[in-house]
A = this chain, B = another copy of it.
Amino acid sequence: MPNPTAAMLVIGDEILSGRTRDANMHHLAQELTRVGIDLREARVVSDDHDAIVAAVRALGTAHDHLFTSGGIGPTHDDITADAVADALGAAIDVRDDARAILAAHYARTGAELNDARLRMARIPQGAVLIDNPISAAPGFSLGNVHVMAGVPTIFEAMLAGLLPTLTGGAPLLSQSLRIDRGEGEIAAPLAGLAADFPDLSVGSYPFQRDGVHGANIVIRGADGARVDAAMGRLAALFPPA
């Protein structure tokens, strides 16, 4: 059975203006690879209702899972929950279970659960809450759309709680070999190898260091014996100098 597929949607003006460098995509990619869910596509959109709605519909329909990051805080530019509800045709309002989580949190910290903070309890009908062990305000899964925070520590904590609840596939195994020759020298035999192992992904990632042109060849696949076989062929094609 093929692995489940996934997409990611990063929401935030600050990424597109260059103010902030996104970190969540790279973390999600590594975690999904580990559990055998294939990340096929990622998108970044601004804090714009229509842009979020369109991306949620397109990516949620095309893949088994859609993971979002960003836009679920208490300020006016946090509009992800409402946009996701709109995209999936779900009603949204302050929900009692989420409000209780926030009330308990702010009672502990001594801060007031004011209107702004209460916005973080706006959860679509039918959604399952995602635990936030860091700052309490929960994420949620609505159908196959998993809505999480943009702050990397919180995104990572939410994902750590969510992933064990999802059904993964065969983890993608990978092996790599560094070859100190230019890609142009090795491209033809490499293409032959890739053609002989159509069930594997054979990637070539060039580098240039201290005047040396080289490439890291990465062979990926779910079947460890096949990856071993391809890696053996690769090593025989390009013995160390």
**Binary per-residue interface labels of chain A (14-35) against chain B in the complex, 1 for a CB within 8 Å, 0 otherwise:** 1111111110011111111100
Q: Kindly provide the distance from the CB of A82 to the nearest chain B CB, expressed in whole angstroms.
A: 14
* A30–B45 CB distance below 8 A: no
Kindly state whether residue A88 has any CB partner on chain B within 8 Å. no
Residue of B nearest to A30 (CB): B18
- Known interface pairs A25-B44, A184-B117. Does A190 touch B75 (Cβ–Cβ under 8 Å)? yes
Query: Do the beta carbons of A17 and B33 come within 8 Å of each other?
Result: yes
Instruction: Give A158 Cβ to nearest chain B Cβ, in Å.
Output: 15
The yes or no answer to A174 lying at the interface (CB within 8 A) is yes
Chain B residues with Cβ under 8 A from A27's Cβ? 18
In the complex the two chains form, is A184's CB within 8 Å of B116's CB?
Answer: yes
Task: Please tell me if the beta carbons of B16 and A29 are within 8 angstroms of each other in the complex.
Answer: yes
Q: Are B184 and A114 in contact (CB under 8 A)?
A: yes
Q: Give the segment of A122-130, A162-170, A202-210, A223-231 that binds chain B.
A: A202-210
Question: Using a CB-CB cutoff of 8 Å, which residues 191-241 of chain A contact chain B?
Answer: 191, 194-195, 201-208, 215, 218, 220
Select one of B25, B77, B114, B182 contacting A204, CB under 8 A. Answer: B77
Would you call A183 an interface residue if the criterion is a C-beta within 8 Å of the partner chain's C-beta atoms?
A: yes
Give bound CA distance, A43 to B187, whole Å.
Answer: 27
Q: A15-B42, A17-B33 are in contact. List 20 more A-B contacts (CB 8 A).
A: A15-B25, A17-B220, A18-B32, A19-B218, A22-B26, A40-B45, A41-B44, A41-B51, A75-B183, A75-B215, A76-B195, A77-B202, A77-B204, A111-B182, A111-B185, A114-B188, A116-B183, A117-B187, A120-B184, A151-B208
A: residues with CB less than 8 A from B are 13-22, 25-33, 39-47, 51, 73-77, 111, 114-117, 119-120, 134-135, 151, 153, 172, 174, 182-188, 190-191, 194-195, 201-208, 215, 218, 220
What are 15 A-B pairs with beta-carbon distances under 8 A?
A13-B220, A14-B203, A15-B25, A16-B42, A18-B28, A18-B29, A43-B43, A75-B191, A76-B195, A77-B202, A115-B188, A119-B187, A120-B184, A135-B208, A153-B208
